[in-house]
Every structure is written in C-alpha cells, then in structure tokens.
Amino acid sequence: MRADEELTTARLVLRRPAHPDIDLLHALHTDPRACAHNPSDLLRDRAEAEERFRRWDEHWRRHGFGYWSVRRDDLPLGFCGLKLMRLHDRDVLNLFYRLDPAGWGDGVAGEAATAVVRWAAAHRPGLPVVARVRPENVASRRVAQRAGLHRAAHLDTPGEDGPDLIYVLRWS
C-alpha cells in the first residue's frame, strides 16, 4: 500500500478498500436508512456490490485515489472519499461519505471527511472539492461544513435524486 493510500486521524484509519470491504459496501447500499437521501445509490444484490467495488477500484488504479474504507479499532464503519467528476464544465473532486447507521452521531464522518479534504489539498491542490447534498440531509450538510466546504448556492444543480445543494472548496 502506498503511503498516501492510508490516512490516519485521532480515532480512525482510512484505507483503500479491498475485497473484504465488499461485505460492508453491500450491507450499506442495501440499507434504506443509509441511502434514504440517495435512493439511486441502492444496490439490489451482491453481484451489483461486486460491480460497484470494481468501479471504485478502477478509479483508484486510474487516478491514485478514490473512496477510503473508514475503520475505528479495526472495525469497518463505512466509506469516505473522493471521485473525479465534472460539475458546470469543470473537473472537480466530489466528496462522498456513507457510514453504518450504528455509528452515526459520534463525529466519525466529520473526522474522516476532514482528513480526506486535507489529503486533497496536499495531493490535488488544483482541483476544487465539492459536496452535493439533498436539502433535507442536515447531517451531511454539517459534515461538508465541518470539512471546510462552503455553501455555493449559485452552483446548485438538479440531482439524480432531487435538487442538490452544492458546497465547495477552492472554486474560483
């Protein structure tokens, strides 16, 4: 594993996902609570989870970064990371986080997202970081702000699951 494939924070270790992480990927993306605001992310079965993992891994191979698995005390809690995409005709890093509902409300997402945004500043400083959040997803909005992103209403888009509020860092 390359040095920048593993990130550490006070309580967490973030790692490039490996095959055993497909179990949690599958569990989270078949859990209606974890996809309540993003039903288009839901998976039907294990085969779709394996395909989703293959796409995440392909992103890592092509770009040298992607979604990290988030662990505390060696227990997998979920995923947080970056995906290269286009927004308003610009290349951007889309910030993603999805955690096991059993661990919500303990500051894990804020801690993981802050580490990921710090990684982006150090390793991909030329690219804006964005978060696309459904208006009613208050926890997600707070996580974006905690990671240092600012609300940018002029960039809001009609998203796949309804309107997306856009939060940004380094959009100039």
Give me the residues that bind ligand COA (CB under 6 A), please.
Answer: 34, 37-38, 97-99, 104-110, 133, 137-140, 142-143, 146
In the complex, what is the shortest distance from the CB of residue 109 to ligand COA, in angstroms, rounded to a whole number?
3
Q: What is the 3-state secondary structure (H, E, C) of 114-161?
A: HHHHHHHHHHCCCCCEEEEECCCCHHHHHHHHHCCCEECHHHCEEECC
DSSP 40: G
Q: How far is CA 18 from CA 53, 75, 94, 153, in A?
A: 8, 14, 21, 37
In the complex, what is the shortest distance from the CB of residue 50 to ligand COA, in angstroms, rounded to a whole number?
21
In the complex, what is the shortest distance from the CB of residue 39 to ligand COA, in angstroms, rounded to a whole number?
11
In the complex, what is the shortest distance from the CB of residue 165 to ligand COA, in angstroms, rounded to a whole number?
9
Neighbours of 101 (CB within 10 A): 13
Q: Kindly tell me which of 19 and 33 has the beta carbon lying closer to ligand COA.
A: 33
In the complex, what is the shortest distance from the CB of residue 107 to ligand COA, in angstroms, rounded to a whole number?
4
Q: Kindly tell me which of 95 and 171 has the beta carbon lying closer to ligand COA.
A: 95
Contact at 8 Å (CB) between 77 and 70? Answer: yes
Q: Kindly tell me which of 2 and 132 has the beta carbon lying closer to ligand COA.
A: 132
Q: Kindly tell me which of 38 and 69 has the beta carbon lying closer to ligand COA.
A: 38
Burial bucket for residue 75 (CB in 10 Å: 0-12, 13-18, 19+): exposed
Q: Kindly tell me which of 105 and 125 has the beta carbon lying closer to ligand COA.
A: 105
